[in-house]
Structure 1
């Protein structure tokens, strides 16, 4: 087996098992310890892994996030986001006061709202536009600075406005969730989301399975702040156990092509 092929297999092993030792590599690929160490060094140089004593792990901190338009057009998650959004919208009742953050999955929920009489507060210019096309929804768009890449309003003025509101339900999405809580790569977004969670009677997290087990730079909150998780697949055992420990209702949304 060529080194390039071996490196791919090592990464696949890490994605499943989270950790690999030099001995694992020797046994799996019938190579010497020196070869195994060279493989680990090569993967670290490529930015795929972190070396540890006697082996390697995958980085737990995700460093990048695609811009809003790319996330919106990501075909690998389009069906899941639509199913999650549909299930989230089905939880609404006429006349409820709502908070909606600026995630693409929450945008999918906004597109599928058919109940009426809502008062909706959002920091998303896109979601405000979508809700504006619907009958019987009063929209409060937060003021402040516009993040051009991710298309959300942020800053001290937005947080100040949020502090004046109380709502029945918050729909929010995140880039990363582990048993330790939810995180975001953007600190300013994190401040907004923290305040949104304080303003809502019920916090409903909309997140597809690709966010499970990932950790980002800025911590938003622990799992104790979440009431309902709507996703497209069962979380792994460790995350599911943590969610159930905090009495979070896990709802699985099925796409049209899913059994």
Structure 2
């Protein structure tokens, strides 16, 4: 992540949280604590935030960030750097399941964003609420890209709407692709009610649900349940998933597709 992007996201997080410690900011932005301390010092000198003992505080007077609604969950740009190579393999496998000319739905997220490279040479009709993916495909592919109506949430780089007339109900996809912060015995999980609302609307418009989740997401828990495992048709993951979870998914008749990753991953 570029320094400018990290600074912007750091200020976004402080606007949302009010204040945060160095370890919290380090975890959310996937940067070292030393890097975060340097960022805080630089931004403090610019009067973009207030430096406090062990962290930083939002400076509403000097900050250029205005109050806006936020979603619970991790930062998209930071997430794209986590398990990047594994996500790329999973995403490539996901795109290989699509037929030319097919209409599909892609939910926003760092795992599904990685589908961009394999989609560059394809010709599909794609509905996505991922602002970042739509930009990539518009610039680097001949796919037909449709965006729903709504508000842009910058932190997750997705478009969401609280209203029914956002255009989603007019679209049908044979497959829906989505990532998840957690999947396990309780089902497919999410972090924010707005994300659950949006994803449930998208699910209604698809024949098949295909989940992209590297092994670090398997067996984890989050605060909200999006749907039960019975709603998942295919799970694409890596070959480091524990056997007990493979048995769980088999019990729920989920087709599990694994990609091989080197032992060093």
Distance 1:210 1:91, change over 3 A: same
Counterpart of 2:217 in structure 1 is 211
Bigger drift between 174-183 and 148-157 goes to 148-157
Tell me which of 80, 86, 90 is aligned to 1:72: 80
Q: Distance in 2 between matches of 1:257 and 1:126?
A: 31
Counterpart of 1:189 in structure 2 is 195
Provide Cα deviations, 1:193-217, integer angstroms capped at 9, x if missing partner.
Answer: 1121221111110001111111111
Q: Say whether the 8 Å CA contact 1:89–1:110 is kept in structure 2.
A: no
Tell me which of 173, 183, 192 is aligned to 1:167: 173
Q: Distance in 2 between matches of 1:110 and 1:202?
A: 20
Q: Distance in 1 between matches of 2:145 and 2:99?
A: 17
Counterpart of 1:39 in structure 2 is none
Question: 1:78 Cα shift?
Answer: 0.9
Instruction: Show the 5 A alignment for 1:43-54.
Output: none
Q: Distance in 1 between matches of 2:250 and 2:240?
A: 12
Provide Cα deviations, 1:163-220, integer angstroms capped at 9, x if missing partner.
Answer: 2211111110000111120111111111111121221111110001111111111210
For the residue of structure 2 that corresponds to 1:149, the secondary structure is: coil
Question: 1:237 Cα shift?
Answer: 3.8
Q: Distance in 2 between matches of 1:212 and 1:192?
A: 22
Please state if 1:151 is matched with 2:157: yes
Tell me which of 125, 128, 141 is aligned to 1:119: 125
Question: 1:231 Cα shift?
Answer: 0.4
TM-score, normalised to structure 2, is 0.68
TM-score, normalised to structure 1, is 0.69
Counterpart of 1:10 in structure 2 is none
Distance 1:158 1:235, change over 3 A: farther
Q: CA RMSD in A?
A: 2.1
Q: Say whether the 8 Å CA contact 2:239–2:261 is kept in structure 1.
A: no
Gaps of 5+ in 2: 1-71
Gaps of 5+ in 1: 1-63
Q: Which has the larger radius of gyration?
A: 1
Q: Distance in 1 between matches of 2:233 and 2:171?
A: 19
Q: Say whether the 8 Å CA contact 2:150–2:159 is kept in structure 1.
A: yes
For the residue of structure 2 that corresponds to 1:66, the secondary structure is: coil
